[in-house]
A and B are shown apart, each in its own frame.
Chain A
Amino acid sequence: MFKNFKESYLVRFWSPIPAIAMLGILSAYYFGITGTYWAVTGEFTRWGGHVLNFIGVNTDNLGYFKIIGLSGTPFSRVDGVMIIGMFGGALASALMANNIKFRLPQSKARVFQALIGGAIAGFGARIGMGCNLASFFTGIPQFSLHAWFFTIATLIGVYFGNKVATSRLLCSKIIMQKVNKTKELEDLNKNAKVNFIIGIVVLIFMIAWVVFLAFGKIPEGKKIPVLSIAMLFGIAFGYIISRAQICFTSAFRDIFLTGRGYMARAVVIGMMLSTIGVFSYIMLGLPPKIMWAGPNAIIGGLLFGFGIVVAGGCECGWMYRAVEGQVHYWIVGIGNVIGSTILALTWDSYAESLATSFPKINLLSTFGNYGGLLVNYLLLVVFFIIIVMLEKYYLAKKRNQFSKRSN
């Protein structure tokens, strides 16, 4: 019986729709318990800040770090331990499913693409005050108008990113061979048992860390040891995105590339589930996270959408793929940190004209509590319909285009 369970749930990949639904619900709980949303790039920027401090750059006067904060270490911040949890959860998942293999980029072009794309996406995410999470998947359910600006701009950025990613320079050079039998694949399953046990050990270690943090200091202004809970959620987030291979980049990108929008539709359903949960916490008195609805959100979305497609993965997608041994995504991650650090260094020269002089628009204040809730759901429904229409249009177009190539 265990063998059956293991094969169905721990080894075989999960279907993305229930996985994203789970992420939507968990992220609402995460907000309710920690008071912040599920987000990763702010913390990446802080890592960049620590590197700057380490090499002797004084970050005290940088306005961006005043906004996002740079006190403590990745081990003492909510976002920091959540991300450690995500890495741990993703690693445990990959090991238990024997989904680990060291893979090097196949060409210099791919290395370049990962680094530059990652940096553009990192910069874009931070100027827009969040990535596919804080300015999209967990930002829209916060009723922050900036997230809608960012999301629409991302879709446009993705469209242009596709032009570059599928250009002659970057397209795959591999050719089809005539064969008469299937290829013998290296038997990677021989390590499956050992990897499974290591995966369990990683999971136990992470849970022990959660327990350890539970007995730690309760941060100021909190009623519970929030670091412990943040890490626990991080483990769940990491485990789920790895198990179902959730990719926000492909959700947007593949509508245009192949006419497949089912990941995008799943993401919208996830946000619909999340929105009502977040709403109820806000009604209980928790302040929502609202950001400036200025040109920064639009510029950020355009750059982010362009960057993630060129890089092949976004800010949360590279994390689980990096621990699977895909070196390409280590480079994307480094690119992300570089891009967001550049943003932090240059922020003060354009912050006022692009961001901070614009209002932070909360749909719940603009339209009233129930009005705002309704508007957000209406926008989500419209977004869903747009996805379905784009999907239909591009599927017909691409079917035609691909089948014509051979004639």
Chain B
Amino acid sequence: MTPDYRLDLQGEPCPYPAIKTLEVLPDLKKGEILEVISDCPQSINNIPVDAKNHGYEVLKIEQHGPTIRYLIKK
């Protein structure tokens, strides 16, 4: 799965990863994929839920220790 864009939010505490993700997603074209990287583990409870609620598709969630990669499709 190849992303078209990346949002590397390592170091940012919650809620910024969730807000930033929702802010940039509308800039994608339909079908494009955004890679979000966050090391705020609590993002596991917000990024996937928010993405779904706002009409995007969560393709993959990968947990690398405390760092989580989300692949989200518009």
Q: How far is the CB of A187 from chain B (nearest CB, A)?
A: 7
Query: When the two chains form their complex, are residues A176 and B12 in contact, meaning their CB atoms are under 8 A apart?
Result: no
Q: Does A78 contact B (CB under 8 A)?
A: no
A174, CB-defined interface residue at 8 Å: yes
Among B2, B37, B53, the residue within 8 A (CB) of A180 is B2
Interface residues in A388-406 (C-beta closer than 8 Å to B): 395, 398-399, 402-406
1/0 contact trace for A162-183 toward B, CB 8 Å?
0001100001101011111111
- The answer, among B4, B12, B40, for a CB contact under 8 Å with A179, is B4
Could you tell me if A260 and B49 are in contact, using CB atoms closer than 8 angstroms? yes
Taking a contact as CB atoms under 8 Å apart, the answer to whether A254 and B15 are in contact is yes
Instruction: Please tell me which stretch of A40-48, A99-107, A141-149, A223-231 contacts chain B, meaning at least 4 of its Cβ atoms lie within 8 angstroms of it.
Output: A99-107
**8 A Cβ contacts from B28-45 to A:** 34-35, 37, 39-42, 44-45
Asked if B9 CB lies within 8 Å of chain A CBs, one says yes
A260–B20 touching, CB < 8 Å: no
Residues in chain B near residue A22, CB distance under 8 A: none
Asked, given contacts A172-B12, A245-B44, whether A258 binds B50 with beta carbons under 8 Å apart, the answer is yes
Contacts of A231-257 to chain B: CB distance below 8 A: 244-245, 247, 250, 253-254, 257
- Which listed residue (A99, A329, A395) contacts B65, Cβ 8 A? A99
Q: A16-B45, A177-B6, A260-B53 are in contact. Are A166 and B19 (CB under 8 A)?
A: yes
List the count of A-B residue pairs having beta carbons below 8 Å apart.
155
Q: Complex: how many Å from CA A99 to CA B64? A: 9
The CB with the most chain A CB atoms within 10 A, among B13, B27, B34, is that of B13
Judge whether A328 is part of the interface by a CB distance below 8 angstroms: yes
Taken together as a complex, chains A and B put the C-alpha atoms of A176 and B69 apart, in Å, by 15
Alpha-carbon distance A182/B15, docked complex (angstroms): 23
Task: Check B39–A101 contact: CB distance below 8 A.
Answer: yes
Knowing A183-B37, A245-B42, A260-B53 are in contact, say whether A188-B66 is a contact too (CB < 8 A): yes
Chain B nearest Cβ from A259, distance in angstroms: 6
The contact size tier of chain B is: 35 or more
Assess whether A258 is in contact with B46, with CB atoms less than 8 Å apart.
yes
**Among candidates A176, A181, A259, A405, residue contacting B34 with C-beta atoms closer than 8 Å:** A176
- Quick one: given A99-B65, A165-B15, A399-B54, are A178 and B25 in contact (CB under 8 Å)? no
The answer to whether the Cβ of A79 comes within 8 Å of any Cβ in the partner chain is no
> A245, A399, A403 — which one has the most chain B CB atoms within 10 A of its CB?
A245
Query: In the complex, which residue of chain B has the Cβ closest to the Cβ of A245?
Result: B42
Can you name the residue of chain B whose Cβ is closest to the Cβ of A259?
A: B53
Complex Cα–Cα for A396 and B35 (A): 25
Q: Are B2 and A182 in contact (CB under 8 A)?
A: yes
Set of chain A residues within 8 Å of B14, measured between Cβ atoms: 247, 250, 312
- A242 — nearest CB in chain B belongs to which residue? B41
- Answer whether A106 and B18 are a contact pair too, CB < 8 Å, given A99-B65, A245-B44, A403-B26: no
Most A CB contacts (10 A, CB to CB) among B4, B49, B65 go to B65
Interface digits, A203-220 against B, CB 8 Å rule (1 contact, 0 not)? 000000000000000000
Chain B nearest CB, measured from A301 CB (Å): 20
Interface centre among A12, A100, A260 (most CB of B within 10 A): A260
In the complex the two chains form, is B66's CB within 8 Å of A176's CB? no
**Interface assignment of A273: CB less than 8 Å from any CB of chain B:** no
A188 touching B45, Cβ below 8 Å: no
Q: Which 4 A-B pairs have the closest CB atoms?
A: A188-B65, A406-B26, A172-B16, A106-B11
